[in-house]
Structure 1
Amino acid sequence: MSDRGRVSFAFPTGPRLFLRRLISHWREQSAIVRTAADWTVLLYIVIPGGLLGGRFYYGFWVDDLPAWSTSIPFMIIPILLVLLLASGGMVLLLLEGDLLFLRQRETWIRAIILRGTIYSLVVTTLKIAAVIGLLLPFIIRGYGLSSEAALSLLILSITCGWSIKLLAHIVKVQRQGWQRWLWQIPAIVVPCGIYLRVVLLWNDYPALLWVAALLFTVVTGLAIRYRLKLRGTFMNDVREDYKQRMKIAALMLRRVLGKPRPTRYKPWIFRRSQLLLSSKEPESRLSAAAIKSLIRNPANLKLYASFTSVSAIAILIVPAGLKWILLLILTSLMANWLFSFWRTFVRDDYIGILPFTKEQKAEAGSRAVPILLMPFSVMCAAVVCFSIYGWWGLILFIPFGAMIGFVVAKVFSTIRLER
């Protein structure tokens, strides 16, 4: 193309166009933040909070560490870092309108993708460095890591985060449906598993952290090269880009607007409405309907899984003498939530038109809630039994967990259900 044709564009080169889009992206994100945090919030909340947090952080370096920090095992640190590494995505700053214009200019597309990739990796580096910086007093003073070991942990975390971001992005723009979830295993789970294993071996094999960091760097370089050669994924690139740019807005609106559920012509589980309970009594059918309702609702199922995961971690880190007590408390909290779900379910307009008496509804609830509570109590009992009794826990956790879930559910059914 001649120079006369090139000067007719507002941004005659790909790098200049990317810089313009990057500035627009920053303005867009700052505008979203300003809608929730104006200068008053900054003055009265953010600045005092930052000063107070800075004072606490300085105290962690010069004063004695809190007593609770000494009881937390080192394994929690890499687990937190793994959660950070597996989250987030990449922003390439591609737009839908590029399909009409920039598709004819492959060099411009490559320039935008390359710089967007570098920008995303820089953001990932800053996030990881900030989190490790906050944890640094506990890592060095609490767990006794040297400065060299902390530096190697930082480099390993950054390189692992790079490779995970790139591999996960490549999977997201190339795969859909169940294939995407299947390919997430080599893209995310395997690097996270390697990272976790290497970090736990830092004391015995400190050089292993640098070897793993070099491996992740090589994977990152190969992934960038593959990403630049990738074709036929433009619309998927734009879709993933939009998701990442709207994350802050989605986070702020989460408590204001409910996320619309996708339209399904068939449920994703129990598609044929098969019977869950052997009995054909009306109470059993109502119980089965409540169980299916909770499992088919992504919000309820996510809340159930999240509380189960947090409870398992809490039980794992407390002393052995408190594990069974904490298990009973957490099982009671889960039972209380399940009975609240049951009350919401039976008060639904659709259920209200069915000719169920108050006694039948109470009987159905006393059957449904123990079944819903059982997976939680059994999984938490497995954490208790394996951490205290070792291999004997393989025999004990199912009967103990089932018994605790059944007893707690029956106690709450007597209190919460109206007969």
Structure 2
Amino acid sequence: MNSRQLLFKRISQNWKQQFAVVKRVVDWTVLVYLVIPAIVISFFVYRSWWVQIPDWMTLLPFPAIFILFFLLLWSDHFLTYVREADQIFLRKKETLFLGMKRGGIIYSYAFQLLLAVTICSLIAPLWFIQFGLHMGQLVVLAAMWVSMKWLIMGVKGRLNVELRGWRSLLRGIPLFIGAAIIWMWCYKAFINENFVLILALILINTIVSAWFIRRRFNSVHTFEQDLAIEELEKNKYIEIIFGLSMDMEKMPKPVPVRKSPRLYSKSNRIFKNRTPKNGFIELFIKATTRNTEYIIGYFQIMGVTSAATVMLPPLWLKITMAIIGTVFLLTWLGSVWYKVVGSHSFTKKYASEEAYFEGKKVVKTILVLPFLFIISCSLFLNIWIRNHFFFF
């Protein structure tokens, strides 16, 4: 097996692994009732944009495109597709190992180029019809964005990706500010049609990116950094998918056990009336309020659904997203209830009793009411604003 075959095998394994995780989350019912209809609707909506631009898109200013592209710069690394076991075997075969690493980096360059073409294809109706620009200018935008993406990926490949917390945030501030300044130069050069400066920025970004990545490209002695980046990218997508999962509700990181919890430190009783139903509800309240991940998950579902009802233009699509969000919330609450109460070693033997299901029903009802209130307020507020302010 040569380095090219090994690289293709690793890339194929990587995609199969991600697809396997998605399959565990998106079962056939979700696929049939949500994913496939969403794809079909998205296709026809995108096709309609070429016929007539929606009213809400006509309100977007041209700088919003550059802001959107700037926000899409930050998510990837140059991948070399190394594995932990390679330290034992492949590092002894330097030619094979180095060939695979180089191929992985070249593949990362090409993948980002393909991603730029895809994003530009999505904004093409707005670009051509609304702003009246031509294909050459769209190609220039794609080239500026992908060269900037390569530069940021090169810089991130030299940083310690295992660093977390406030130190990682402080380290990322100079990178963010520098990227914002360069992207502002790109925007001003594009507006002023200074294509000499644009070409210079594209070449400089590409050359500096290659300079930052040269050690990983030419040496086998960056194995630890390469492996850390691979693990970061793999776990990033898995955590996102698991976070959206309802059947595999997982915590992103273990929570240390405290001798005295912050809430209910003396195990105070919440309900004076001690009934089996109230016991289940009390256990659920204490377990979920002591762990911020459950609280954050609840507000994330509420926030995403509320944002969808505000941003999506047709009324029928707003109502559809509100219904989908409600169903998703109810299913997620059922999953959390089972993890906290139903699967607990002390309470799972009571999971067949009537009080268990009564408590579950009460929790779902109480938590879905504020959700429906916020979504309804978002929907009616959006309709009222659109009726009274023409510029929305």
Q: What TM-score comes out, normalization by structure 2 length?
A: 0.58
CA distance in 2, matches of 1:19, 1:56: 35
Given the alignment, which residue of 7, 12, 18 partners 1:23? 12
Rate the CA distance shift 1:91–1:226 in 2: closer, same or farther, 3 A: closer
Give the aligned residue type for 1:209.
I
Given the alignment, which residue of 30, 45, 51 partners 1:56? 45
Given the alignment, which residue of 88, 105, 110 partners 1:117? 105
Equivalent residue, structure 2, for 1:382: none
Rate the CA distance shift 1:298–1:191 in 2: closer, same or farther, 3 A: farther
Given the alignment, which residue of 126, 131, 135 partners 1:143? 131
For the residue of structure 1 that corresponds to 2:239, the secondary structure is helix
Q: What is the correspondence of 1:3-152 to structure 2 with a 5 Å cutoff? A: 11=1, 13-39=2-28, 41-63=30-52, 65-152=53-140
Cα drift, residue 55 of structure 1: 1.8
Indicate conservation of the 8 Å contact 2:74/2:152, yes or no. yes
What whole-Å deviation, never above 9, does each CA across 1:36-93 have from its counterpart, x for those lacking one? Answer: 2345544443333223222221221222x22222222222211111111112233321
Equivalent residue, structure 1, for 2:252: 259
Rate the CA distance shift 1:124–1:56 in 2: closer, same or farther, 3 A: same
For the residue of structure 2 that corresponds to 1:219, the secondary structure is helix
What percentage of aligned pairs have identical amino acids?
A: 26
Cα drift, residue 115 of structure 1: 1.2
Cα drift, residue 142 of structure 1: 2.1
Q: What is the correspondence of 1:157-168 to structure 2 with a 5 Å cutoff? A: 157-168=145-156
Cα drift, residue 242 of structure 1: 1.5
Cα drift, residue 173 of structure 1: 5.4
Cα drift, residue 232 of structure 1: 4.6
Cα drift, residue 22 of structure 1: 1.8
Give the aligned residue type for 1:217.
T
Equivalent residue, structure 2, for 1:194: 182
Rate the CA distance shift 1:67–1:95 in 2: closer, same or farther, 3 A: same
Structure 2 segments unaligned to the other structure (5+ residues) = 259-291, 303-392
CA distance in 2, matches of 1:248, 1:62: 36
CA distance in 1, matches of 2:179, 2:297: 24
Q: What is the correspondence of 1:319-338 to structure 2 with a 5 Å cutoff? A: none
CA distance in 2, matches of 1:109, 1:61: 47
Cα drift, residue 300 of structure 1: 8.8
Rate the CA distance shift 1:238–1:40 in 2: closer, same or farther, 3 A: same
Rate the CA distance shift 1:36–1:261 in 2: closer, same or farther, 3 A: closer
Cα drift, residue 144 of structure 1: 3.1
Indicate conservation of the 8 Å contact 2:84/2:227, yes or no. yes
Cα drift, residue 155 of structure 1: 1.2
Rate the CA distance shift 1:243–1:75 in 2: closer, same or farther, 3 A: same
Give the aligned residue type for 1:50.
I
Equivalent residue, structure 2, for 1:227: 216
Cα drift, residue 14 of structure 1: 2.6
What whole-Å deviation, never above 9, does each CA across 1:293-336 have from its counterpart, x for those lacking one? Answer: xxxx89999999xx9xxxxxxxxxxxxxxxxxxxxxxxxxxxxx
CA distance in 1, matches of 2:99, 2:75: 26
Answering whether residue 231 of structure 2 is matched by residue 242 of structure 1, we say yes
For the residue of structure 2 that corresponds to 1:24, the secondary structure is helix
Answering whether residue 165 of structure 2 is matched by residue 172 of structure 1, we say no
Q: What is the correspondence of 1:376-387 to structure 2 with a 5 Å cutoff? A: none
Cα drift, residue 192 of structure 1: 4.0
Rate the CA distance shift 1:70–1:303 in 2: closer, same or farther, 3 A: farther
CA distance in 1, matches of 2:257, 2:10: 36
Equivalent residue, structure 2, for 1:217: 206
Give the aligned residue type for 2:253.
P
Rate the CA distance shift 1:163–1:203 in 2: closer, same or farther, 3 A: same
Cα drift, residue 188 of structure 1: 5.0
Indicate conservation of the 8 Å contact 1:168/1:188, yes or no. no
Equivalent residue, structure 2, for 1:388: none
Give the aligned residue type for 1:25.
N
Cα drift, residue 235 of structure 1: 2.3
CA distance in 2, matches of 1:263, 1:239: 24
Q: What TM-score comes out, normalization by structure 1 length?
A: 0.55
CA distance in 1, matches of 2:298, 2:184: 26
For the residue of structure 1 that corresponds to 2:190, the secondary structure is coil
Indicate conservation of the 8 Å contact 2:94/2:220, yes or no. no
For the residue of structure 2 that corresponds to 1:254, the secondary structure is helix
**What is the aligned-residue RMSD (CA, Å)?**
3.7
